Amino acid sequence: MTVYLRSLETAVPPTILVQPEARAVFAAQPGLTRLGSRLVNTCFDSAAIDTRHTAVKELTTDSRAQDPQFFDPATGLLLSPSTKVRNDIFATEATKLFIEAAQKALDACPGVDVLDVTHLITVSCTGFFNPGPDYKIVRALGLNPAVQRYHLGFMGCYAAFPALRAAKSFCEADPEAVVLVVCAELCSLHVRTSNDPDTIMGSALFADGAAAAVVTARDIPGEPALLQLDHFETVLTPVGEESMAWNIGDEGFEMVLGNYVPHIIDDHIIGALEPLLSRDGSLHGLRYGDIQHWAIHPGGRSILDKVQSRLELSDEQLVPARETLRNFGNMSSATVLFVIKHILDLPAAGEDRDGKDVPAVNPGAERICSMAFGPGLTVETALFTRLPVRRAAAAAETPDAETAGADPARPVSVRA
């Protein structure tokens, strides 16, 4: 049974944070020590991020909030709302992203009707409410009220892979199944001023975004699939349990992202990939050199640096991950789907950037190895096959999801 990803779409809030201006705000907070101020500048400047998106509309220079809860532009002070305040905003704003991304994914798959969807999987680790996002999507999009609904909560940055793996299993069990997978995260709800290095790192990296995919084994005539879902694996590293964590505090969720995480990944990334492929090709018939594309979750610049060095990947193979980090930051579970979409929007072998046929050494399907890292330390890996039927020109005809609702020429940002 072959299971396919038929569409993959993204969505982001319209408010844009410009990294240097956000850094200036965080560095100017009165409670920072001299060391804390240096850490803010170092973390923000070394993050390799230009812009991020946020659902917190107060984080703008033209905010007119009568009673600001996150940021007071008049004083330049970052405020400390309670977890309840943050979660209430999550319930409202995350719902919008869940619905927008889900609608785009279905619109991009015209061979699937909304009533064809048999399973819905939602993913988030940045808030909770019930009836939850799965319920909201069913009602807003008019899905069959009997659709099977599942929510994967609080798993962290790797959660898109358990969602896709579950979707694959559903389709293998029922050849007529159509699974809608939607990840949405509002990480910026939980940023705060602090002298703690982990908190500062989180403030420099995290952002908001959503991604959705339609997965099915159905044959849909005239509608080519994007990816073949081949194989998934999970590996827990023997160390790192205390180095990456996500806890609930009185003033939002508290991120633990130790500076030793890149070293843990450096030490254990080869072992994490062994279930998928090996250097001598003895597993799954694949070698590292057989993989054309690497969709790495950009947990941070130093993590990408370690992965690239350890796996001896080219600069070109890291472009999708680095560009996603540069333009969107770390959006937790949704991020790796942005990276995969970046790869799908590239010209395939045998195509130029206008989608026209050109000679190619290896025309046809291309293999993608993808991985994401999260609390535990958990490493999720996946193998995909990019099918040779997607045209770059077709992708270019679709408005960019990341710019929907925003004017990129006039970004709004926080200012001191």
157 is catalytic: yes
Per DSSP bridges, beta strands 178-186 and 208-216 are antiparallel
Start-to-end C-alpha separation, the chain: 56
Q: Which long-range contacts (CB under 8 A, 24 or more apart) does 345-348 make?
A: 345/392, 345/395, 346/293, 346/320, 346/392, 347/392, 348/386, 348/388, 348/390, 348/391, 348/392
* Catalytic one of 43, 125, 157, 171: 157
Tell whether omega for the bond before 277 is within 30 degrees of 0, i.e. cis.
no
Alpha-carbon distance of 399 to 214, in angstroms, equals 19
- Which residues partner with 152 through β-bridges? 123
- Outline where DSSP puts E strands in 156-286: 178-186, 208-216, 227-236, 244-249, 252-257
77 torsion bin: left (phi>0), alpha (psi -120 to 50), beta (else)? beta
Token code pair at residue 305: 């640096």
255 torsion bin: left (phi>0), alpha (psi -120 to 50), beta (else)? beta
Distances (CA, A) of 10 to 102, 182, 340: 9, 10, 11
Residue 394 CB: number of other CB atoms within 10 A? 12
Q: Indicate the angle between helix axes 301-311 and 319-328, nearest 10 degrees.
A: 180
CA of residue 19 relative to chain centroid, distance: 19
Q: Indicate the angle between helix axes 160-173 and 335-344, nearest 10 degrees.
A: 70
Residue 333 CB: number of other CB atoms within 10 A? 30
Distances (CA, A) of 73 to 2, 26, 61, 360: 53, 13, 6, 54
Alpha-carbon distance of 26 to 213, in angstroms, equals 36
Q: Backbone phi, then psi, for 124, in 5-degree steps?
A: -170, 150
Would you please indicate which residues are annotated as catalytic (active-site) residues? 157
